[in-house]
């Protein structure tokens, strides 16, 4: 198990629909495109100057969208994960 530190979270990537069958990304705009992921673990939160620890807003199981170039890839027990800071999370998706 990966237990992220502070305000970090571990996610599994969710395939984006904008790739073609051959895997080529088809950008239709110069603006940054976010990616989607599923939260598998969250840290204990960051510590404020007052000493208070702020829990993350996202929780295990959440589907999130995040900044495309954010995070660090981690391979753990044969699976690929991404470790992000909560500040890189844009929104939680509820369908």
Tokens representing 27 are 């950008």
78 contributes a contact to its own copies by CB under 8 A = no
Among 19, 33, 59, 60, binds its own copies (CB under 8 A): 33
Cα–Cα distance between 47 and 26 in angstroms, integer?
Answer: 40
15 contributes a contact to its own copies by CB under 8 A = no
25 contributes a contact to its own copies by CB under 8 A = no
Residue 45: how many CB atoms within 10 A of its CB? 16
46 by DSSP, 3-state: which?
Answer: strand
Smallest gap from residue 58 Cβ to its own copies (A)? 7
Kindly tell me which of 5 and 21 has the beta carbon lying closer to its own copies: 5
């Amino acid at each position: 198990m990966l237990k992220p530190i502070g305000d970090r979270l571990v996610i599994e990537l969710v395939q984006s629909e904008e790739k073609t069958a051959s895997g080529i990304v088809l950008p239709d705009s110069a603006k940054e495109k976010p990616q989607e992921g599923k939260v598998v673990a969250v840290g204990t939160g960051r510590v404020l100057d007052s000493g208070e620890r702020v829990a993350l807003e996202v929780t295990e199981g959440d589907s999130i969208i995040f900044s495309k170039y954010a995070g660090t890839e981690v391979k753990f027990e044969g699976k690929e994960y991404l470790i992000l800071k909560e500040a890189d999370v844009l929104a939680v998706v509820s369908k």
